[in-house]
Structure 1
């Protein structure tokens, strides 16, 4: 809870009071009614930076800047929702709150927070591919999420849609990575539509890599996927750190939510 008057009541079970080291921007608070306020999304990230590690902070940042919310009441576990903030707004919050605990960590991870993810699996893929090798990622440039590709006049005849969305996209490499979720990509009609979509994008000069759930969760399949992604994106194949395989395994376990050593806050961020 926030202590706005300086009295700082004694903490109780499930309630803790903290002092804010900088001027508190009231426009970054969310009214809960009456005299109750909650931290807005930017200040929430700044506060969470005190308690969670960098990977969890990036995961939370993707969700706040993305078009989904973790919702365990739904069968698929997520719900579509408008983004709560942007990377630019978070950056402004960081600059306004220099000196607040957690600001250094949030500033460090900010370049790795992406906008536009529409599911936790898209976020997981973005981190697996885009984080530095020192953190267990593949070291690719940060991808654009759900990037819109317009065929234009040249490729209009090959396209059956006015535009296409790519889960992860690198414009300079013209490479798209798509996550094929089990529920969204089943049945003959869906398979046929995916094939036509792939053909249209290939005609536009886009190289597509499809990623399945098994490729992410099964270690052997994952390593074959890594090899394909490295070749397609033109990435360095050897890490400078000797324990890179262990770092890669830890990152994959954390972003997929199968890390047995993850704390309660990590589980809350990943699963709600």
Structure 2
């Protein structure tokens, strides 16, 4: 199979729910003249995979001047699982090899965020309007199949969002083995540095943003209050079960207690998912149940995360609960904080948009 999606195109393909691939059926084979014509004539020939397509080739003779394609040459040895074949006239680079291809154009913070997404139970998917309309109609009619465990996260009005739930694509052990195997590859240092700030299996971009801004060390722009455990399971006591109406709950972000501080749970409450009487009641019951077990609960909302001043107060409150005192940040640390915020508080769909770095001046 000659057509291999890579870089941004592979990332967007991996973020596309299987139901969308089923709706499209076969995709154009750009290794043929007919396929090239189909790509040029169709508005969205590959669903949410935007043009130009990023294609992987293995020799420079395969590189052509096409307005709809950007070719990337790989001449080294391929790691296991680097290429995944599909039944849709194309292949796609696997999750980790895709990130390695993108690494030279990514910041460490963005690599951390993409690792969280690949390891997490969520995907960010922002398709063209025509696909949204089709998917929304299936949702409204109750006919949207959960292929491969992919389910859309709906807002309180039942409308699609850009968030989908799905099983993790990779595990941490796989990433570590991949980094060891590709130790000399360009961009592998970015992956290695990013992995140190990935802790657990996240369920949403908001969780990741919160974990990074509050938990990362101050020398890298965070508040140094982590690392947090994501989706930490908490078995409720009998009393707490009666309050919550459930036997188990999962903390978005969790810090273990100590001799001097109680356990701490941070609930990351996005406006689109935690409004409405039913959901608010469930959140209240769960918070009260955890409090009955001596667990501190903080409800964090995006507007608090989005404001440096408000987030500083949240960080100070967490520090007081933990029995620690936050030091005033120096000018250099404030600059690092601004840099991290600029990287983290972005539209997740735009992360991984390939940009070729300009050559260094000599």
Range of TM-score over shorter length:
0.7 to 0.9
**Residue 10 of structure 1: aligned partner:** 63
Q: For the Cα contact (< 8 Å) 2:243–2:286, is it kept in 1?
A: no
Report whether the alignment pairs 1:91 with 2:176. Answer: yes
Indicate how the Cα distance of structure 1 residues 103 and 234 shifts in structure 2: closer, same or farther if over 3 A, else same. Answer: farther
Q: 1:269 aligns with which of 348, 351, 354?
A: 351
**Residue 125 of structure 2: aligned partner:** 71
**Residue 316 of structure 2: aligned partner:** 227
Report whether the alignment pairs 1:200 with 2:297. Answer: no
**Residue 198 of structure 2: aligned partner:** 113
CA distance, structure 2, for counterparts of residue 8 and residue 232 of structure 1: 62
Does 235-244 or 71-80 show the bigger shift?
235-244
1:241 deviates by 4.7
Q: For the Cα contact (< 8 Å) 1:87–1:114, is it kept in 2?
A: no
**Residue 36 of structure 2: aligned partner:** none
- 5+ residue gaps in structure 1? 259-265
Report whether the alignment pairs 1:50 with 2:104. Answer: yes
**Residue 211 of structure 1: aligned partner:** 300
TM-score, with structure 1 as normaliser: 0.84
Indicate how the Cα distance of structure 1 residues 8 and 151 shifts in structure 2: closer, same or farther if over 3 A, else same. Answer: farther
1:163 deviates by 0.3
Indicate how the Cα distance of structure 1 residues 10 and 117 shifts in structure 2: closer, same or farther if over 3 A, else same. Answer: same
Indicate how the Cα distance of structure 1 residues 198 and 155 shifts in structure 2: closer, same or farther if over 3 A, else same. Answer: closer
Q: 2:249 aligns with which of 164, 172, 177?
A: 164
Indicate how the Cα distance of structure 1 residues 106 and 115 shifts in structure 2: closer, same or farther if over 3 A, else same. Answer: same
Does 26-35 or 112-121 show the bigger shift?
26-35
CA distance, structure 2, for counterparts of residue 122 and residue 43 of structure 1: 25
Cα deviations by residue, 1:88-128 (Å, 9 ceiling, x for unpaired): 11111001111111112211221212332111111101111
**Residue 209 of structure 2: aligned partner:** 124
SS in 2 for 1:252: helix
Runs of 4+ residues deviating >4 angstroms: 33-36, 152-159
Give the aligned length.
262
Which entry has the higher C-alpha Rg, 1 or 2?
2
TM-score, with structure 2 as normaliser: 0.65
Indicate how the Cα distance of structure 1 residues 51 and 227 shifts in structure 2: closer, same or farther if over 3 A, else same. Answer: same
Indicate how the Cα distance of structure 1 residues 183 and 10 shifts in structure 2: closer, same or farther if over 3 A, else same. Answer: closer
SS in 2 for 1:45: helix
Cα deviations by residue, 1:195-214 (Å, 9 ceiling, x for unpaired): 22111101222111111122
SS in 2 for 1:237: coil
1:24 deviates by 1.3
SS in 1 for 2:194: helix
